[in-house]
A and B are shown apart, each in its own frame.
Chain A
Amino acid sequence: MKLRNEFSVAAPVDKTWEMLLDIQRVAQCLPGATIEPDNGDGVYRGQMKVRLGPMTVDYRGTAKLADVDNDERVATLDVKGKEARGTGLASATIRNSVKANGTGTDVVIETDLNITGRPAQFGRGIMEDVSAKMLEDFAKRLERELQDDPPSTDEGASPAAGTAGPTAAASDEDDILDLGSAVSGPLLKRAGIAAAAVVVLVVLFRALRPRSEELTLTLRAR
């Protein structure tokens, strides 16, 4: 799955580029992600628990700068994760590039995302919705990170970009965990106290709808 996000910041291009190479700061912008300092090998480790509605996927993984082109100002970040419980893998190649734009800088983020295992095995396309939203959040947080140094907890200033539909309902409630994301409050709250470094997707479905007696029986049997 390929996703593209772009934005502009008022900061000069050199400063922006330099910050983009600070992997810990960049990876931190993945929604709900924090990572441990590296051991000097440039590989950052961590885990992340992301929730969406009733669903949860835990990933453990790594992030590292795979490729830096100082001339073209393109930095590629490799993020790899594995479900903590389950067989699924998640990986993302995030290609960040910057270009001077008068006084400011244009930033383009291109992400190639690959998710395997249970969350990926449903045909309904909500995984795509959620991934796009996650990446959008990542871009917004990165924008804020690059804009303000250090990041502010100010809410509501970030322009909502690319929202679909005539009146996409989204509330911008104040949220202390939200470091400048336009994502709605409850999502971030439920993202929990985050760790690690992977973009997580969750697929949603109402599906098989078994009889609820099944649950009761199951519980009795246990």
Chain B
Amino acid sequence: MKKQPEEHEPLTIGARAPRIEDDRLLRGAGRFVDDIDVPGQLHMRVVRSGVAHARIAGIDTSEAAAAPGVQLVATAADLGSSDPIPLRLDFGVDLDAYLQQVLATDRVRYVGEPVAVVVAEDPYRAEDAADLVDVHYEPLPPVLDAREAMRDDAEQLRDGAGNEVICIEKSFGDVDEAFSSAAHVVQAELSVGRHTGTPMETRGLVADWDAGRGHLTIWGAALVTHYHQRVLSRLLDLPVSKIHMRGTDAGGNFGVRGDFFPEDFLVPWLAMRTGRPVKWVEDRAEHFVSINHAREQVHRIEAAFDEDGRLLGLRDEIWHDKGAYIRPTGLVVSEISVGMLPWPYRVPAYEGRIHVVMTNKTPVGPYRAPGRYEGTFAREHLLTIAARELDMDPVELRRINLIDRSEIPFAPDLTIGGEPFVLNSGDCVGLLEKALDAADFAAWVEEAEEMRAEGRIAGTSVAYFVDKSGLGVYETAGIDIGVDGSVRILIGGASSGQGIETVMAQIAMSELGVPLERVEVVHGDTDLIPDGVGSWSSRSTVIGGSAVLNAARATADKARRIAAELLEAAVEDLVLADGSVHVLGSRERGVTLGEVAAACDTVSSQQRGETPGLGAREIYIDPQMNYPYGVAFAQVEIDPDTGHVDVRRYFCAYEIGKAVNPMLVEGQIVGGVAQGIGGALFEELSYGDDGQPRSASFMDYLVPGATEVPHVGTLVSEDAPTPSNPLGAKGAGESGIMAVGAAVAGAVGDAVGDPRAVHALPLTPERVMRLLADTRDPVS
């Protein structure tokens, strides 16, 4: 970062800049999809299955079609094409039999599956009519457990394709030898419940069909916009150029919204079909059964150790309940689960297998730290158990097994996300020491001991984690500077409230020296930004930010070239600051960026042999994913009367390589911890024996609030910039949540005196009462 001679620090890379999007968002002036209205619009209502598993014997839409205000009622038979929704992340496995149709044809496989749609003059009438669609179901036995689904006598969800989609295996080293020669083998069976991300804003879409031009405009496909555009082109048989996706604000994502869902097809299709704009805003009751669910894994995990507690081998067999269909993100969560499991430890031999299994529940996709929340819990809790069985300090056991900085780059024979896994930067032990110090973890341990001495039930724990960031190879960016000096940054990513606008502006400003208030960041508009990969996999800063950096550098270079001409100065003497280009050390010898942009008029540019305008378009291609890492500490106290777990203290240290905005990184960590506490203690999407969702509202799906989340201590470390991108930055979005399940479970295990008693998350009051009974039973 270059130092510039301003009176106040410029809000460039590394600054704790206030978010530029907050002004509108906090004043309630954001523009979300439900704020978009097009004159003449109709409203869509989806008729969803109320049954988990059934054959559809018939659908009678006559009463609904005759209801007041109804324009159209459609079922699968009306769609014409029966193409399923295609994969976005394709690992070359044939999954056609498992993909979801837009509307169910002859069979429904989960409660909430779209069966028919109604469009009417207002949302009330649409819902009235949807209630009148008469679907005749012949119920089938539901399959609700992944391991049971794999049994030979299990009910099959599909004819001609088994309930187990695939078993993905990853291994290296001689695992059998490791276990047979081990001094100690430690085993556990650990499960994580079914969660989802519960963004504040539910999904929604508005589509406007211009029949004359054959042109479709769509608002609301907020997160992987260009992918949506291409899928729609294919499913609607429209040229990509005729589909214009428009950006809006989006109230949260957390990964669960980043798929192409049936409604993403239905809304534009209905607009074309009816010739009128169509709007749909998902209600929260629909959201709970239609958005991607996540997690729900069972791990049977074991580790082999030598005499001194050094890891010799690791084995894990995982059952992953993927729900009723494979959605566009395909097998990525399962693949990452088994690929990321061993890290950050020096594991000489590993064998991981994951069974991807279909059940009669809502499909499962990515959610913040997919596969890692679960895997970190399984691995770290196993280590916590091992520390007890080997009579070692849990911190020490980890310390001696962490990959050492001398072993970097660390490249075992393993692929993740289709590319070789390489830990190319880092100092895991160094971060552990810094974190122990910063949190004063020894004092936490001591405090818990004192509490136990007073008869209270308290415990502490440590959990290490590794994230991956930057899947998706490339991103596009553009910068345009207007003749008034205003700056517009175009990005292929998307804003979901995470602060990407501020981050991209800060990156651009590091090269352009323009005050943040002169900057606008534009995203999600396919007419302005013809290509983009989107915001997921903690990739926006890493890949999108690198693209913006390159575009800003190209723009600054051009500004210097033109200004050199205008000022009759040498290019290398010019600096960009405060919205102008001037000679270093001589501020009065300068021109504003607006003047430079004006000088880039078409005629002058032609004469100079340059492209007109001041700006640049760049594509950044990332050579490999990066692997940020961190360590978390937790201290909990259990109420013996209720089984309530109070998280008293939580600390998360994180190596980010380079923090563009440390305040936002801390915010990501703290928010992630809050969400992680949800999965550790409160949140679970439960199903009854009949496959009915039993936590389909915020009354029963318990998201932690301010009173359930402690102050979260953070340490953002920048010791190990990644060499793979020009910023040196690693992803931040999934950091905080990663180890919470592991840390809370470990602390509960410590509190009750035996981590082996903990088998499952979330640790509900009843589960905790049971493990209290199990561990306190004095056998007397």
| In the assembled complex, B51 has its CB within 8 A of some CB on chain A | yes
Segment of A38-46, A94-102, A114-122, A161-169 in the binding face: A114-122
Interface of B is mostly: loop
Q: Which of A85, A87, A114, A208 contacts B690 (CB 8 A)?
A: A114
B-chain residues with CB within 8 Å of residue A114 when the two chains form the complex: 690
Residue of B whose beta carbon sits closest to that of A85: B131
25 interchain pairs, CB-CB under 8 A? A83-B50, A85-B131, A86-B50, A86-B131, A87-B47, A87-B49, A89-B50, A91-B139, A114-B690, A115-B692, A116-B111, A116-B690, A117-B50, A118-B285, A120-B690, A120-B694, A121-B692, A121-B693, A121-B696, A123-B699, A124-B700, A207-B697, A208-B697, A208-B699, A222-B122
| In the assembled complex, B688 has its CB within 8 A of some CB on chain A | yes
Bound state CA distance, A88 and B137, in angstroms? 10
Q: Is the CB of B50 within 8 A of A118?
A: yes
| In the assembled complex, B172 has its CB within 8 A of some CB on chain A | no
| In the assembled complex, A7 has its CB within 8 A of some CB on chain B | no
Q: How far is the CB of A35 from chain B (nearest CB, A)?
A: 20
Shortest Cβ-Cβ A-B pairs, 9 listed = A87-B50, A123-B700, A117-B50, A85-B131, A207-B699, A121-B696, A123-B694, A120-B692, A123-B695
| In the assembled complex, B91 has its CB within 8 A of some CB on chain A | no
Q: Is the CB of A124 within 8 A of B50?
A: no
Q: How far is the CB of A209 from chain B (nearest CB, A)?
A: 9
A-chain residues with CB within 8 Å of residue B688 when the two chains form the complex: 120
B-chain residues with CB within 8 Å of residue A121 when the two chains form the complex: 111, 285, 692-694, 696-697
Q: Is the CB of B124 within 8 A of A222?
A: yes
Bound state CA distance, A87 and B59, in angstroms? 12
- Chain B contacts to A: CB under 8 angstroms: 47-52, 111, 122, 124, 131-132, 134-135, 137, 139, 284-285, 686, 688, 690, 692-700
A-chain residues with CB within 8 Å of residue B696 when the two chains form the complex: 121-122
Q: Is the CB of B132 within 8 A of A85?
A: yes
Q: Is the CB of A116 within 8 A of B50?
A: yes
Which residues A114-151 have CB closer than 8 A to chain B?
114-118, 120-124
Assess A124 versus B699: contact at CB under 8 Å? Given A88-B50, A116-B692.
yes
* Contact pattern, A 67-93, Cβ under 8 Å of B = 1, otherwise 0: 000000000000000110111110100
A-chain residues with CB within 8 Å of residue B700 when the two chains form the complex: 122-124
Task: For the A-B complex with A89-B50, A116-B50, A122-B699 known, give 15 more contacts whose Cβ atoms are closer than 8 Å.
Answer: A82-B134, A85-B132, A86-B50, A87-B51, A89-B51, A89-B139, A116-B690, A120-B692, A120-B694, A122-B697, A123-B699, A124-B700, A205-B699, A222-B122, A222-B124
Bound state CA distance, A89 and B48, in angstroms? 13
Q: Which one of B48, B131, B686, B688 has the greatest number of beta carbons of chain A within 10 Å?
A: B688
A-chain residues with CB within 8 Å of residue B699 when the two chains form the complex: 122-124, 205, 207-208
Q: Is the CB of B111 within 8 A of A122?
A: no
Q: How far is the CB of A91 from chain B (nearest CB, A)?
A: 8
Q: How far is the CB of B289 from chain A (nearest CB, A)?
A: 8
B-chain residues with CB within 8 Å of residue A205 when the two chains form the complex: 699
Bound state CA distance, A87 and B54, in angstroms? 13
Residue of B whose beta carbon sits closest to that of A118: B50
B-chain residues with CB within 8 Å of residue A115 when the two chains form the complex: 692
- Chain A contacts to B: CB under 8 angstroms: 82-83, 85-89, 91, 114-118, 120-124, 205, 207-208, 222
A-chain residues with CB within 8 Å of residue B285 when the two chains form the complex: 118, 121
Q: Which of A87, A118, A207 contacts B135 (CB 8 A)?
A: A87
Assess A208 versus B50: contact at CB under 8 Å? Given A86-B131, A87-B135.
no
Q: How far is the CB of A203 from chain B (nearest CB, A)?
A: 10
Bound state CA distance, A89 and B49, in angstroms? 10
B-chain residues with CB within 8 Å of residue A123 when the two chains form the complex: 686, 694-695, 699-700
Residue of A whose beta carbon sits closest to that of B115: A87
B-chain residues with CB within 8 Å of residue A83 when the two chains form the complex: 50
Q: Is the CB of A87 within 8 A of B48?
A: yes
Q: How far is the CB of B63 from chain A (nearest CB, A)?
A: 10
A-chain residues with CB within 8 Å of residue B49 when the two chains form the complex: 87
Q: Is the CB of A116 within 8 A of B51?
A: yes
Bound state CA distance, A222 and B52, in angstroms? 35
A-chain residues with CB within 8 Å of residue B692 when the two chains form the complex: 115-117, 120-121
Residue of A whose beta carbon sits closest to that of B691: A116
A-chain residues with CB within 8 Å of residue B697 when the two chains form the complex: 121-122, 207-208
Bound state CA distance, A85 and B696, in angstroms? 19
Q: How far is the CB of B751 from chain A (nearest CB, A)?
A: 27
Bound state CA distance, A86 and B122, in angstroms? 18
Residue of B whose beta carbon sits closest to that of A120: B692
Residue of A whose beta carbon sits closest to that of B122: A222
Q: How far is the CB of A12 from chain B (nearest CB, A)?
A: 39
Bound state CA distance, A122 and B111, in angstroms? 13
B-chain residues with CB within 8 Å of residue A118 when the two chains form the complex: 50, 285
Bound state CA distance, A87 and B289, in angstroms? 14
B-chain residues with CB within 8 Å of residue A124 when the two chains form the complex: 699-700
B-chain residues with CB within 8 Å of residue A88 when the two chains form the complex: 50
Bound state CA distance, A89 and B139, in angstroms? 10
Q: How far is the CB of B127 from chain A (nearest CB, A)?
A: 10
Bound state CA distance, A222 and B692, in angstroms? 33
Q: How far is the CB of B488 from chain A (nearest CB, A)?
A: 36
Bound state CA distance, A87 and B46, in angstroms? 11
A-chain residues with CB within 8 Å of residue B698 when the two chains form the complex: 207-208
B-chain residues with CB within 8 Å of residue A116 when the two chains form the complex: 50-52, 111, 690, 692
B-chain residues with CB within 8 Å of residue A117 when the two chains form the complex: 50, 692
A-chain residues with CB within 8 Å of residue B137 when the two chains form the complex: 89
Bound state CA distance, A35 and B366, in angstroms? 50
Residue of B whose beta carbon sits closest to that of A205: B699
Bound state CA distance, A193 and B134, in angstroms? 25
A-chain residues with CB within 8 Å of residue B686 when the two chains form the complex: 123
Residue of A whose beta carbon sits closest to that of B699: A207
Residue of B whose beta carbon sits closest to that of A114: B690
Q: Which one of A116, A121, A122 has the greatest number of beta carbons of chain B within 10 Å?
A: A121
B-chain residues with CB within 8 Å of residue A85 when the two chains form the complex: 131-132
Bound state CA distance, A211 and B170, in angstroms? 52
Bound state CA distance, A86 and B285, in angstroms? 14
Bound state CA distance, A123 and B766, in angstroms? 15
Q: How far is the CB of B123 from chain A (nearest CB, A)?
A: 10
Q: How far is the CB of A200 from chain B (nearest CB, A)?
A: 15
Bound state CA distance, A86 and B49, in angstroms? 10
Q: How far is the CB of A172 from chain B (nearest CB, A)?
A: 33
A-chain residues with CB within 8 Å of residue B134 when the two chains form the complex: 82
Q: How far is the CB of A74 from chain B (nearest CB, A)?
A: 24
Bound state CA distance, A82 and B686, in angstroms? 24
Q: How far is the CB of A115 from chain B (nearest CB, A)?
A: 8
Bound state CA distance, A116 and B693, in angstroms? 9
Residue of A whose beta carbon sits closest to that of B48: A87
B-chain residues with CB within 8 Å of residue A222 when the two chains form the complex: 122, 124
B-chain residues with CB within 8 Å of residue A86 when the two chains form the complex: 50, 131
Q: Which one of B52, B135, B692 has the greatest number of beta carbons of chain A within 10 Å?
A: B692
Bound state CA distance, A85 and B132, in angstroms? 6
Q: Which one of B131, B139, B284, B690 has the greatest number of beta carbons of chain A within 10 Å?
A: B690
Bound state CA distance, A41 and B700, in angstroms? 44
Bound state CA distance, A163 and B688, in angstroms? 26
Bound state CA distance, A116 and B139, in angstroms? 11
A-chain residues with CB within 8 Å of residue B693 when the two chains form the complex: 121
B-chain residues with CB within 8 Å of residue A89 when the two chains form the complex: 50-51, 137, 139
Q: How far is the CB of A93 from chain B (nearest CB, A)?
A: 13
Q: How far is the CB of B55 from chain A (nearest CB, A)?
A: 13
Bound state CA distance, A112 and B613, in angstroms? 75
Q: How far is the CB of B499 from chain A (nearest CB, A)?
A: 28
B-chain residues with CB within 8 Å of residue A87 when the two chains form the complex: 47-51, 135
Bound state CA distance, A82 and B696, in angstroms? 21
A-chain residues with CB within 8 Å of residue B50 when the two chains form the complex: 83, 86-89, 116-118
Bound state CA distance, A121 and B695, in angstroms? 7
Q: Is the CB of B131 within 8 A of A122?
A: no
Q: How far is the CB of B50 from chain A (nearest CB, A)?
A: 3
